[in-house]
């Protein structure tokens, strides 16, 4: 199978970092990658995260569909991965999978991202000699594609959990699918939590210094990041962890990506292509498939081996 990712710019500062050779109209396309025989491309819409959320949704969706069809027709791609907000605006990829113009398979890549996020939480607790059963967990974006899976996996491991979202109806629906000691909140009550997982589609850094208690661990899976480096510098007692990054010893040419690392969502679609699995993985995460992606990661060595914060190794500082 030939794969391609469809992402977007995180902010205006990244626009000039991409080579001119990548520009194909309204889409950036990398040179062809070859990962153990699986060939494909890293691509991105020429839209920022803010534009993705502020432009009319139908307009953004059409940009995504145009990209998928171009990759299908001109680059012979038959498996696409939706990255960051391209997932959010297409109902977890369901909308794209239902469009007849695109005949291939769709994967949002969030299954392996959710798995790696949970691994990062447990590794961070181990680093600081903390037991999850003694901690309070907050999940921001708890009913999103990633947040829902992380919630189902983690809340039974913690003393108490605060599930945070902006829509009451979706929080109510989430409650029907989970068990554990938890409460839901429309308020950003992360300052009550020892461990915070952020998995939102917010286009800006959402978490401020006042939102975090002393010594908090934050696993930030959001793209753009929900916790900025400015807050990290201001609060050295807080441990921020890059969510969703794994070891990947291949060069992708993605500007800003730490050497030897890649997003687990991209890795998932590459692994699916390597496995030649001809299925859609869209909408809510199937936990059985999530476990399968963990097995794939171990099989190919694309795993989480160290914790990083904006690409730098996380050290125990307290």
* Least trusted range by pLDDT, from 2-11, 55-64, 222-231, 254-263: 254-263
Q: pLDDT class for 237, splitting at 50, 70, 90?
A: very high
Tell me phi and psi for residue 181, to 5 degrees: -90, 100
Can you tell me the distance from the alpha carbon of 18 to that of 25, in angstroms, rounded to the nearest whole number?
A: 14
Q: Is the pLDDT of residue 252 over 90?
A: no
User: Got the DSSP string for 174-226?
Assistant: HHTT--SSEEEESS--GGG-SEEEE----SS--B-GGGS-TT-EEEE--SS-S
Centre a 10 Å sphere on the Cβ of residue 173 and count the other Cβ atoms it contains: 12
Q: Is the pLDDT of residue 99 over 90?
A: yes
**Cα 233-236-242 angle, rounded to 5 deg:** 75
pLDDT above 90 covers a percentage of the chain that reads 77
User: Mean pLDDT, to the nearest integer, of 19-30?
Assistant: 85
pLDDT in tens, 259-301: 788 999 999 999 999 999 999 999 999 999 999 999 999 999 9
Structure tokens at 10: 């995180």
Domain boundaries, the chain: 3-110+246-300, 113-245+306-313
* Least trusted range by pLDDT, from 26-30, 130-134, 292-296: 26-30
**Cα 132-109-20 angle, rounded to 5 deg:** 125
Q: Is the pLDDT of residue 10 over 70?
A: no
Q: pLDDT class for 16, splitting at 50, 70, 90?
A: low
User: What rounded mean pLDDT belongs to the chain?
Assistant: 92
**What pLDDT does 188 receive?**
94
State the pTM of this model.
Answer: 0.92
Q: Is the pLDDT of residue 18 over 80?
A: no
8 Å CB contact between 127 and 102? no
**What pLDDT does 281 receive?**
98
113-245+306-313 homologous superfamily: NAD(P)-binding Rossmann-like Domain (3.40.50.720)
User: Mean pLDDT, to the nearest integer, of 122-145?
Assistant: 96
**What pLDDT does 311 receive?**
85
| Region for residue 30 given its phi and psi (left: phi exceeds 0; alpha: psi -120 to 50; beta: otherwise) | beta
pLDDT in tens, 163-188: 999 999 999 999 999 999 999 999 99
């Amino acid at each position: 199978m030939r794969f391609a990712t469809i992402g977007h710019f995180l902010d205006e500062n990244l626009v000039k970092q991409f080579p001119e050779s990548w520009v194909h109209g309204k889409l950036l396309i990398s040179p062809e990658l070859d990962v153990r025989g699986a060939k494909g491309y890293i691509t991105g819409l020429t839209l920022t995260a803010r534009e993705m959320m502020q432009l009319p949704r139908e307009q953004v969706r059409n940009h995504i569909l145009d990209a998928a069809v171009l990759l299908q027709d001109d680059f012979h791609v038959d498996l696409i991965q939706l990255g960051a907000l391209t997932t959010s605006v297409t109902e977890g990829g369901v909308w794209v999978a239902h469009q007849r113009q695109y005949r291939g398979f769709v994967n949002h890549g969030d299954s392996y991202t959710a798995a790696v996020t949970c691994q990062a939480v447990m590794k961070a607790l181990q680093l600081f000699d903390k037991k999850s059963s003694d901690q309070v967990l907050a999940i921001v974006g708890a009913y999103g594609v990633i947040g829902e899976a992380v919630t189902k996996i983690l809340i039974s491991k913690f003393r108490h959990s605060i599930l945070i979202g902006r829509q009451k109806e979706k929080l109510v629906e989430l409650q029907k699918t989970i068990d554990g000691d938890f409460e839901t909140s429309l308020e950003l009550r992360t300052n009550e939590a020892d461990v915070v997982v952020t998995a939102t589609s917010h286009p800006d850094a959402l978490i401020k210094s006042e939102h975090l208690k002393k010594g908090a661990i934050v696993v930030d899976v959001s793209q753009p990041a929900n916790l900025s480096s400015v807050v990290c510098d201001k609060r050295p007692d807080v441990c921020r962890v890059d969510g969703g990054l794994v070891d990947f010893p291949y060069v992708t040419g993605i500007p800003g990506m730490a050497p030897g690392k890649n997003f687990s969502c991209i890795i998932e679609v590459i692994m699916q292509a390597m496995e030649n699995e001809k299925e859609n993985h869209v909408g809510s995460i199937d936990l059985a498939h999530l476990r399968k992606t963990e097995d794939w990661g171990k099989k190919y060595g694309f795993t989480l081996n160290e914790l990083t914060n904006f690409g730098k190794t996380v050290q125990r500082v307290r």
